[in-house]
Amino acid sequence: MSSTADVRPPQRSDLTRYRNALWLLTKRDLRVRYSTSVLGYVWSILDPLVMAGIYWFVFAVVFDRGGRIGEQPYIVFLLVGLLPWMWFNGAVSDSTRAFLREAKLVRSTSIPRTIWVNRLVLSKGIEFLAALPVLAVFAVVNDGTSLHWEAVFFPLAILIQCVLTVGIGLIVAPLVVFFRDLERAVKLILRFLFYASPIVYGLSDLPTELQPFAVFNPLAGIFSLYRSAFFPEQLDWYAVVVSAGMSLLFLVIGLWVFKRSERTVLKEL
């Protein structure tokens, strides 16, 4: 292919082809994931439900801190943080195998290879959306939970999280091809990030001296947007702006890393 073709702007037909391929690969992922499963859709909600139950029992029952961290009802507070975390965690974890698992297809297809990361983010995002009715059920059955007008920010939270997750995925996916130990390192980092993010607690529950640093976790502002639908006092616009800026930065870095490493990745596969 000539250099002129490499730099030409994407045409409408190219974008349509990319969207179609992205959707087909995403449907394939979801179909493969659930076709051999008896419970199917239930698995997409069972993991966050079990985790929410464990943390609710530990903090609200064993240590009796359910009224001193987060908001009430605590189970709703937990779920509204855990569900987007499962999306982020799952997409980033799977990105470590994005190229290695589909090596033959990656080498043989001519579509832009960012699709191998984007289809993971999209499939996990669909699972996140599919689990939202469970959150709605818990919100309805727990007295004192109301849906506030800040729910209009939910799509904004989804957009920022999508940008962040794609950016990180584009960094991780090619680098793991060169440094296989990075796959385990990513799992350790995600485990640390779970406790360093306001999931089982809110930003306001942190010591005052830590809060200015905590907002530089890009997930902090995203989770505050999600939670504002039920707990408006959790909304921190400074954290949201920081999250949006850092998400865009990760996307730019991810695209740069991906572009610089793509040819070498194909040689390594």
Which residue would you say has higher pLDDT here, 62 or 38? 62
- Let me know if residue 247 belongs to a domain: yes
Residue 3's pLDDT band (boundaries 50, 70, 90)? very low
Parent domain of 172: 10-268
Highest mean pLDDT among 9-13, 50-54, 58-62, 73-77: 73-77
Q: Is residue 1 part of a domain?
A: no
Residue 252 binned pLDDT confidence (cut-offs 50, 70, 90) = very high
Does any domain span residue 151?
yes
For the chain, give the secondary structure using H, E and C.
Answer: CCHHHHHCCCCHHHHHHHHHHHHHHHHHHHHHHHHCCCCCCHHHHHHHHHHHHHHHHHHHHHCCCCCCCCCCCHHHHHHHHHHHHHHHHHHHHHHCCCCCCCHHHHHHCCCCCCHHHHHHHHHHHHHHHHHHHHHHHHHHHCCCCCCCHHHHHHHHHHHHHHHHHHHHHHHHHHHHHHCCCHHHHHHHHHHHHHHHCCCCCCHHHCCCCCHHHHCCCHHHHHHHHHHCCCCHHHCCHHHHHHHHHHHHHHHHHHHHHHHHHHHHHHHHC
In a domain, 144, yes or no: yes
pTM > 0.85: yes or no? yes
Within-domain flag for 38: yes
Provide the 10 A C-beta neighbour count for residue 8. Answer: 10
Residue 2 pLDDT level (bands cut at 50, 70, 90): very low
254: pLDDT strictly greater than 90? yes
Tell me, yes or no, whether 86 lies in a domain. yes
118 domain-assigned: yes
pLDDT of residue 174: 93
Q: How many domains does the chain have?
A: 1
pLDDT band (50, 70, 90) for residue 28: confident
